[in-house]
């Protein structure tokens, strides 16, 4: 592997100026390549992009040179490189360890330097190791990932409330740290890989103005600590912890094949240990968000039977399983991820090891999902323990919707126990909630009633007649208790059925199907 980029502050500032001058943003890249080539590049197909860049490269266009060098990993001429690095200078660019001179006296990239468009920080850049497609080989063991689907997902589910301290465990190239710096006064990043920490430091310095970071006083806002998982921050506590840990369940070997995704530990032990000890680095009320895999066994029901037992009793947990794979599917997914197919013999041998490893423990399915955890305040009485299997498309980012649901849960369960918490609340179904009815052509009445959310998690729930009637009447005019009483009287519900109806409406409130009615201000 090439050395990681250096953290030379003045050189990085000059590089930032050159990238800005060339207009290296995700939108500008898409505009220069055109719709077809940009879409093909997102599928890891380089040929259309190379064709689209032929004329701009011939004209010495700096943006085309950046795309060709850093995104396509094609050599560029010294003359074009000097234009790309007009402020930094070619020799300084090589000293930063981001480009090198090849045997043909051309300039080649030694990193992947991508334009990264964010919803709350604007246009950034992220340096990482080159991809398997750029390298033309399977990924090496110490590979440092760039912006990928997993890192994007974690960024989209992480709450963005203002905090004093945040921790990014296993930071990799620092993607989560970039986001955390937008709403945390101080961010600590850890990783077992020093190369990863070098990349993370470089990326923070490269994007310093957007992050409100003083490059010459990085320690004011960022702490970089080497070590495994929670070890570097023992005895410290944080308001918010995020992690995309090396959760991949790979065959146990003496040598870790890829440090960015696996640890060499058996099964899902790493995830279990992390969930069961995360409370030690959280303040009271502190939250943690993570991506994870967990194993399931044929005689085990439900899917979260093991997962729900891992957190300490002082912890809240809300876990959402997004998908599950059988052992063969799982092996194929991760062998493809590291491009092991470049060598069929290695691929087949590794595939067999995956299957044997799962068979040894009786694993029949592997779940993937999102886990939110919170260390409860001592005065908090009602634990939040919720487990959902949601496979539908969600409306990202879902962080705000998830945070709203947690707030609503707290509101409901902090209410006095003598009576229904929502009895005096005026509720209304928001505009993004729609009703659906299904029936056979020969049926006289609808046989299935559904409510569907067009926002947040995109949930859809099947309704009974009473619950549907309450939703239909929730226009903000009457209190929820009045509506429930009216529906219960109309349908002849007994006390137990009425309590069940109230529970249904409470769940729908927490999940965002109804919200508190706020009359429009007509005074002004």
CA-based nearest residue to 498, from 451, 464, 473: 464
Residues sharing a CB contact under 8 Å with residue 279, sequence separation 6 or more, in sequence order: 311, 312, 314, 315, 373, 375
**Residue 254, pLDDT score:** 46
Structure confidence by residue, pLDDT tens digits, 361-394: 999 999 999 999 999 987 776 789 999 999 999 9
Q: Any idea what DSSP says for residue 183?
A: T
Give the pLDDT band of residue 253 (cuts 50, 70, 90).
low
Distances (CA, A) of 173 to 105, 170, 218, 246, 371: 29, 9, 16, 14, 22
User: Is the pLDDT reported for residue 272 higher than 90?
Assistant: yes
Alpha-helix runs per DSSP H in 158-243: 175-180, 194-206, 208-211
The answer to whether the beta carbons of residues 514 and 464 sit under 8 Å apart is no
Structure confidence by residue, pLDDT tens digits, 163-181: 999 999 999 999 999 999 9
Residues of the chain with CATH 3.40.50.150: 151-411
**Residue 13, pLDDT score:** 98
User: Is the pLDDT reported for residue 523 higher than 60?
Assistant: no
Residues sharing a CB contact under 8 Å with residue 498, sequence separation 6 or more, in sequence order: 484, 488
Task: Kindly report the three-state secondary structure assignment for every residue of 369-422.
Answer: EEEEEEECCCCCCCCCEEEEECCCCCCCCCHHHHHHHHHHHHHHHCCCCCCCCC
Least confident of 5-14, 125-134, 138-147, 363-372: 138-147
**Residue 435, pLDDT score:** 93
**Residue 46, pLDDT score:** 93
How many CB atoms neighbour CB 385 within 10 A?
A: 13
How many CB atoms neighbour CB 141 within 10 A?
A: 13
Give the pLDDT band of residue 246 (cuts 50, 70, 90).
confident
CA-based nearest residue to 425, from 481, 508, 470: 481
CA-based nearest residue to 74, from 57, 96, 93, 91: 57
Instruction: Tell me how far apart the alpha carbons of residues 54 and 52 are, in angstroms, rounded to a whole number.
Output: 6
Taking each helix axis as running N to C, give the angle between helix 35-42 and helix 26-33, from 0 to 180 degrees, rounded to the nearest 10.
Answer: 120
Structure confidence by residue, pLDDT tens digits, 44-85: 899 999 999 999 999 999 999 999 999 999 999 999 999 999
Tell me the whole-structure pTM to 2 decimals: 0.91
The answer to whether the beta carbons of residues 172 and 196 sit under 8 Å apart is yes
State the Cα torsion 317-334-3-23 to the nearest 10°: -80
Three-class SS state of 312: coil
- Rounded average pLDDT over 115-121: 93
Strands 515-516 and 315-325: unpaired
Residues of the chain with CATH 3.90.930: 416-516
Of 379 and 13, the one with more pLDDT: 13
Structure confidence by residue, pLDDT tens digits, 189-222: 999 999 999 999 999 999 999 999 999 999 999 9
Tokens of 118: 């964010």
Least confident of 245-259, 330-344, 355-369: 245-259
**Residue 87, pLDDT score:** 98
For the domain covering 416-516, report its CATH number: 3.90.930
The answer to whether the beta carbons of residues 33 and 22 sit under 8 Å apart is no
**Residue 261, pLDDT score:** 64
The answer to whether the beta carbons of residues 383 and 376 sit under 8 Å apart is yes
Written out in words, the top-level CATH class of the domain with range 151-411 is: alpha beta
């Amino acid at each position: 592997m090439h050395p990681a980029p250096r953290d030379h502050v003045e050189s990085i500032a000059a590089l930032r100026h050159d990238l800005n001058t060339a207009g290296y943003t995700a939108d500008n890249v898409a505009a220069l390549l055109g719709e077809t080539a940009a879409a093909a590049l997102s599928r890891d197909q380089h040929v259309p992009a190379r064709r689209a860049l032929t004329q701009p490269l011939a004209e010495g266009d700096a943006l085309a040179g950046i795309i060709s060098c850093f995104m396509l990993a094609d050599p560029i001429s010294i003359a074009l490189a000097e234009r790309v690095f007009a402020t930094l200078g070619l020799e300084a660019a090589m000293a930063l360890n981001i480009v090198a001179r090849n045997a043909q006296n051309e300039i080649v990239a030694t990193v992947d330097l991508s334009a990264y468009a964010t919803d709350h920080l604007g246009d950034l850049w992220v340096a990482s190791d080159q991809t398997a497609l750029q390298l033309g080989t399977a990924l090496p063991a110490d590979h440092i990932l760039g912006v990928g689907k997993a890192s994007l997902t974690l960024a989209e589910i992480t709450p963005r409330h203002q905090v004093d301290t945040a921790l990014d465990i296993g930071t990799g190239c620092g993607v989560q740290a970039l986001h955390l710096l937008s709403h945390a006064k101080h961010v600590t990043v850890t990783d077992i890989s020093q190369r990863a920490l070098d990349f993370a430091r470089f990326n923070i310095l490269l994007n310093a103005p957007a992050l409100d970071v003083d490059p010459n006083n990085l320690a004011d806002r960022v702490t970089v600590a080497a070590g495994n998982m929670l070890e570097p921050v023992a005895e410290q506590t944080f308001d918010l912890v995020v992690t995309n840990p090396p959760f991949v369940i790979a065959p146990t070997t003496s040598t870790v094949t890829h440090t960015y995704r696996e640890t060499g530990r058996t099964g899902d032990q790493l995830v279990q240990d992390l969930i069961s000890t995360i409370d030690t680095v959280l303040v009271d009320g502190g939250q943690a968000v993570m991506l994870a895999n967990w194993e399931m066994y044929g005689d085990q029901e439900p899917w979260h039977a093991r997962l729900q037992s891992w957190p300490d009793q002082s912890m809240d947990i809300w876990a959402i399983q997004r998908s599950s794979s059988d052992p063969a599917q799982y092996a194929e997914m991760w062998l493809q991820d590291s491009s092991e197919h470049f060598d069929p013999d290695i691929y087949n041998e590794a595939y067999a090891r995956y299957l044997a490893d799962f068979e040894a423990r009786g694993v029949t399915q592997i779940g993937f999902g999102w886990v939110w955890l919170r260390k409860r305040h001592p005065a908090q009485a009602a634990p939040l323990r919720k487990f959902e299997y949601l496979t539908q498309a969600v409306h990202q980012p879902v962080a705000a919707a998830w945070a709203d649901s947690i707030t609503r849960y707290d509101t409901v369960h902090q209410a006095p126990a003598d009576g229904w918490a929502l009895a005096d609340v005026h509720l209304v179904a928001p505009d993004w909630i729609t009703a659906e009815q299904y029936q056979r052509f020969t049926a006289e009445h609808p046989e299935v009633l559904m409510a569907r959310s067009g926002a947040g998690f995109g949930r859809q729930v099947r309704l009974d007649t009473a619950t549907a009637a309450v939703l239909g009447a929730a226009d903000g005019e009457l209190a929820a208790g009045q509506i429930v009483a009216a529906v219960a009287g109309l349908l002849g519900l007994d006390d137990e059925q009425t309590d069940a109806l109230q529970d249904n409406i409470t769940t729908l409130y927490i999940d965002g199907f109804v919200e508190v009615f706020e009359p429009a201000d007509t005074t002004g």
